[in-house]
Amino acid sequence: MKKLINDPQDVVAEALLGIEAARPEVRVDHANRIVYRRDTPKTGKVGLVSGGGSGHEPLHGGFVGLGMLDAACAGQIFTSPTPDQMLEATKGVDSGAGVLHIVKNYTGDVMNFDMAAELAAAETGITVEAVVVNDDVAVEDSLYTAGRRGVGVTVLLEKLVGAAAEEGRSLPDLVTLARTINDSGRSMGMALTSCTVPAAAKPTFELGEDEMELGIGIHGEPGRRRVALVGAREIAEQLMEPVLDDLDFTSSPVIVMLNGMGGTPLVELYLMYGEVAKITDQAGITVARNLVGNYITSLEMAGCSVTLLRADQELINLWDAPVNTAGLRWGI
């Protein structure tokens, strides 16, 4: 294992020291591993709290700031944060307008946020709502799985709901908006390589030179299918087909995100975006906005995911609203 780390046990704590040193728009509670927006709580504004395992940077700590999250709880690498962290963050961002938890649909994240909401109800008078993101078409959504995973749509949702919260919208309005966004987006990912959890010191799975993993999540877990490695054009088709089969994206403009898994250079991500754009053109899909880069990653995994989100004019306006975070910044 070759990584830019000191002790594997200290990776998350030391990364938070770096985030605090680098980013003037945040402050960090190191004891509870929470990244806060510097000016939270803002009077009258609903507090947005997310969190999850580390290793997906810039998600979530890199999305704290103006126009996005008020707080992000950092777990260990690929491990959900704990209810005490989420409770502390909830108290820290509440201005009296309530708090929205943005939760990716993973067993651990959902259970820990559930416990946090129970604790918040028991210990404080804070109104807490939760939205669970589950946009990954690689997982069959049935009674026999833990359900679809929360992946790329999480990034878009944090941006859009963050902008709406900034406008002063109420908690019930934000819940409705967040659920609409979740229902309007789909993602699919693939990996060329595995990744190495620092504490495990070796790759989570092995992939041959001529293989790729299709339908991966964001935790270095193996995907739905291991298939023969093909060219970018065919990979784009294999990612887009299940997304387009699952939801109609021709009836309104869309926001497209071509996301890197952490270990793929931008030259390849732009090449892939070109292939995806050809497919959307052929399918008669209007791309209103796009995002190309590393936004929800899986350590140093090579590969990418593609996310499509239906976006009416209201969502496009929210998308264009100012944002100032480590991961996204425009309009300021």
Return the exposure string of 239-267: e unless at least 16 CB atoms fall within 10 Å of the residue's CB, then b.
bbebbbebbebeebbbbbbbbbbbbbeee
Residue 268 Cβ vs other proteins, minimum distance, rounded to whole Å: 25
Instruction: Confirm or reject binding of residue 79 to other proteins (CB under 8 A).
Output: yes
CB burial of residue 293 (10 Å; 0-12, 13-18, 19+):
middle
Q: Which of 40, 50, 90, 112 binds other proteins (CB under 8 A)?
A: 112
Which one of the listed residues 30, 60, 101, 219 is annotated catalytic?
A: 219
Residue 80 Cβ vs other proteins, minimum distance, rounded to whole Å: 5
Instruction: Confirm or reject binding of residue 115 to other proteins (CB under 8 A).
Output: yes
Catalytic residue at 101?
no
Alpha-carbon distance of 269 to 272, in angstroms, equals 5
Instruction: Confirm or reject binding of residue 82 to other proteins (CB under 8 A).
Output: yes
| 60, 112 Cβ separation under 8 angstroms | no
Scan residues 83-102 and list those touching other proteins (CB under 8 A): 83-84
Q: In this structure, what token pair is assigned to residue 211?
A: 């293989």
Instruction: Confirm or reject binding of residue 159 to other proteins (CB under 8 A).
Output: no
Residue 94 Cβ vs other proteins, minimum distance, rounded to whole Å: 21
Residue-by-residue DSSP string for 133-171: E--BTTS--STTSS-PPP-THHHHHHHHHHHHHHTT--H
Phi-psi label, residue 293: left if phi above 0, alpha if psi -120 to 50, beta otherwise: left
Alpha-carbon distance of 173 to 175, in angstroms, equals 5
Catalytic residue at 30?
no
**Which amino acid is it at 294?**
N
Instruction: Confirm or reject binding of residue 76 to other proteins (CB under 8 A).
Output: yes
Instruction: Confirm or reject binding of residue 106 to other proteins (CB under 8 A).
Output: yes
Residue 226 Cβ vs other proteins, minimum distance, rounded to whole Å: 9
Residue 224 Cβ vs other proteins, minimum distance, rounded to whole Å: 7
Alpha-carbon distance of 144 to 244, in angstroms, equals 24
Scan residues 42-61 and list those touching other proteins (CB under 8 A): 53
Per CB under 8 A, residues contacting other proteins are 53, 75-84, 106-108, 111-112, 114-115, 138-140, 143-146, 149, 197, 199-200, 204-205, 217, 219-222, 224
Residues serving a catalytic function are 56, 219
